[in-house]
Amino acid sequence: VNEKRSDQLKSLKASFKETFKRIYPYPRFSDVEFDTVHIRGREVLQVKAKTDGGWVYSHQMSTGENVAISFALLYAINHLEKSPLLLLDEPEEGLDEKGVEGLADVLNHLKASTQVVVATRSSQLAQLLQTPLEEVAQS
């Protein structure tokens, strides 16, 4: 059980790092990571990012950085256990144009295995999410 859990965490971390860089393509962070910590008897993930000055934690990050962190974790977790449906309300909130493009790329890949329903006021995100499923499956 511990070996399988360790393999799952390793896979989760690799997918998380790759996905975060797609949504947040900026040099501010040289690495992102998460640790499992125990808080009040429960094991939780503590997300952090490496900067020139050391590690910063999610509560020290901007809204857009936290959006990127959240969707990177969501995407990575969905690889371990597929969700049949994902409902999102304005997921682009806090992201700039490049972040929206990265988020759309991530959501388009999710469409191959999960039904994705998005409520958005962003014409950019709506347009980017109109990629036909056949194109997503080929990428």
Q: Find the mean pLDDT for residues 120-139.
A: 74
Residue 110 confidence (pLDDT) above 60: yes
Q: Is 96 or 112 the better-scoring residue by pLDDT?
A: 96
84 DSSP 8-state letter: S
Q: Which long-range contacts (CB under 8 A, 24 or more apart) does 86-89 make?
A: 86/110, 86/114, 86/115, 86/116, 86/117, 87/117, 88/116, 88/117, 88/118, 88/119, 88/120, 89/119
Report which of 71, 138, 133 is spatially closest to residue 103, judged by C-alpha positions.
71
14-47 pLDDT, tens digit per residue, is 999 999 999 999 999 999 998 889 999 998 889 9
Residue 138 confidence (pLDDT) above 90: no
Residue 139 confidence (pLDDT) above 80: no
Do the Cβ atoms of 43 and 111 come closer than 8 Å?
A: no
Residue 88 confidence (pLDDT) above 50: yes
Specify the pLDDT at position 133. Answer: 47
- HSE, side-chain direction, 13 A CA sphere, residue 58: 13
Specify the pLDDT at position 132. Answer: 57
| Spatial separation of the C-alpha atoms in residues 24 and 22, rounded to whole Å | 6
Specify the pLDDT at position 9. Answer: 86
pLDDT more than 70, % of the chain: 94
Confidence of residue 79 (pLDDT cuts 50, 70, 90): confident
